[in-house]
Amino acid sequence: MATTFYAAAVIAVIATALAITQKNVVHGLLYLIVSLLAVALIFFVLGAPFVAALEVIIYAGAIMVLFVFVMMLLNLGPQTVEQERRWLTPRIWVGPLVLTIVLLAELLYALASRGTATTGLVVDPLQIGIELFGRYAIAVELASMLLLAGLIGAYHLGRRQPERS
């Protein structure tokens, strides 16, 4: 399991570095998704399958959909469609695809040797909900307000200004 952990950690670092350094937003988003999947695998290997599932559902799922929505909102226009068609060649999928295949192989290895994994404390989703909306209710609400402010900001940045005559 240590090799799976270290391999997933290396993939997370590489994918995050590539997500930051990409000039194309689509490429950066693909590498960010791979990075989030690698972090989910790290959580799974450490004995926190529920946190790994939350990582995939919330970050790799919902937050990435929000990022793609904002990206689509900001890239309006017919010339952008042609530019995206040129950017989305099969060649750009090679990097994220290779890293994702390695992560999938690590996950299958971790599932096959699950009996030798470290055992952690089993936490119910009810306990997590009680903690999030009990003691940390203000932090959760502040995070939701921050996401809403980002969405409103993206809308105002992406909308077209009416032409003045």
DSSP-derived letter for residue 162 is P
List per-residue pLDDT tens for the chain, 165 residues long: 788 889 999 999 999 999 888 877 778 888 888 899 999 999 988 888 888 888 888 887 888 787 777 777 776 566 766 777 777 777 888 888 888 898 888 888 877 876 555 566 777 878 878 887 888 888 888 988 998 998 888 888 877 777 776
**Fold designation for 2-119:** Four Helix Bundle (Hemerythrin (Met), subunit A) (1.20.120)
| Token couple for 10 | 């290396």
- Do 81 and 15 touch, CB atoms closer than 8 A? no
Angle between helices 25-45 and 64-74 (to 10 degrees): 180
- Tell which residue, 60, 49, 55, 51, has the closest CA to residue 19: 60
- Cα angle vertex 119, ends 7, 56, to 5°? 55
What is Dmax (Cα atoms) for the chain?
A: 72
> What are the distances in angstroms from CA 52 to CA 45, 71, 165?
9, 26, 55
Residue type present at position 138:
I
- Do 113 and 22 touch, CB atoms closer than 8 A? no
| pLDDT for res 10 | 92
| pLDDT for res 114 | 66
Exposure b/e, 121-134, CB count within 10 A at least 16 = b? eeeeeeeeeeeeee
Strands (E) across the chain are located at none
Dihedral sign of CA atoms 83, 88, 91, 93 in order = positive
> What are the distances in angstroms from CA 149 to CA 29, 154, 159?
21, 9, 16
| pLDDT for res 165 | 64
